[in-house]
């Protein structure tokens, strides 16, 4: 049985757990490095990256996760999760707090505007036959994506979903709404037929 973890320090982890359940996949909340054992994949949810890095600081969670990512663990960061994965941020608003890195992108936090500027938009996603209605909430913008990355979806000319080997990052919230297809695409990577 495939088991997918969801980082549950803060943010929209419940919605991801529900989606994984709807897809018939076993899931587990991850708040400590011990919870990373025997996972087949991990989702980093949206929320508030400043809170996540503070909660994780002083623990070995990110260091252990970085090792597992380097060894090939499939990881999908959405919104604040993308901020954790980005190799570069456009500003130093997260201060000296440790992040994960691992995705060769530059990300600008909150660049799609404030909470009241939240929006949904249909995006074409590689591998999906019909557009996906994507929800953007104080979303980070992907300013550039390195040559090793593959852009899976774009909105108004900007990448909003990218993948680099086993690491995926998206600006939007694929767990909001009823559309399971992006989670299903990620699970395909784990060899799960859903
Ligand atoms: N603006 C948030 C941050 O910087 C991310 C927003 C989200 O995850 N919806 O962490």
Rounded Cα gap, residues 168 and 41, in angstroms:
11
User: What are the pLDDT digits (tens) for 65-121?
Assistant: 999 999 999 999 999 999 999 999 999 999 889 999 999 999 999 999 999 999 999
Query: In this structure, what DSSP letter does residue 178 have?
Result: S
What are the catalytic residues? 79, 173, 175
| β pairing state of 158-164 and 167-170 | antiparallel
pTM attached to this predicted model: 0.97
Contact call for residues 140 and 83 (beta carbons, < 8 A): yes
pLDDT at position 194, please? 63
Can you tell me which atom of ligand 1 is nearest the CA of 136?
9
To the question of whether residue 99 is assigned a binding role by annotation, the answer is no
Q: Where are the alpha helices (DSSP H) in the chain?
A: 13-22, 49-56, 61-70, 80-85, 181-189
Residue 58 Cα to ligand 1 middle (Å): 22
ipTM: 0.96
CA of 115 to the centre of ligand 1 (A): 10
Query: Of all atoms in ligand 1, which is nearest to the CA of residue 93?
Result: 4
Task: Give the number of other CB atoms < 10 A from CB of residue 67.
Answer: 13
Confidence of residue 26 (pLDDT cuts 50, 70, 90): very high
What CATH code would you report for 3-189? 3.40.50.880
């Amino acid at each position: 049985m495939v088991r997918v973890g969801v980082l549950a320090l803060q943010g929209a982890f419940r919605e991801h757990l529900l989606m994984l359940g709807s897809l018939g996949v076993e899931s587990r909340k991850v708040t400590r490095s011990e919870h990373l054992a025997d996972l087949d994949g991990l989702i980093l949810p949206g929320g508030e990256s400043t809170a996540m890095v503070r909660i994780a600081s002083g623990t070995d969670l990110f260091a252990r996760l970085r090792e597992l990512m380097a060894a090939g663990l499939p990881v999908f960061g959405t919104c604040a999760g993308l901020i954790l994965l980005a190799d570069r941020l456009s500003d130093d608003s997260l201060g000296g707090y440790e992040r994960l890195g691992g995705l060769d992108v530059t990300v600008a936090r909150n660049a799609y505007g404030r909470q009241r500027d939240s929006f949904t938009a249909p995006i074409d996603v590689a591998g999906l036959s019909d557009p996906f209605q994507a929800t953007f909430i104080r979303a980070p913008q992907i300013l550039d994506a390195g040559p090793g990355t593959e852009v899976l979806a774009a909105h108004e000319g900007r990448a909003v979903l990218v993948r680099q080997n086993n690491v995926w990052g998206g600006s939007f919230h694929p767990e909001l709404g009823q559309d399971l297809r992006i989670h299903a695409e990620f699970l395909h990577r784990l060899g799960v037929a859903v």
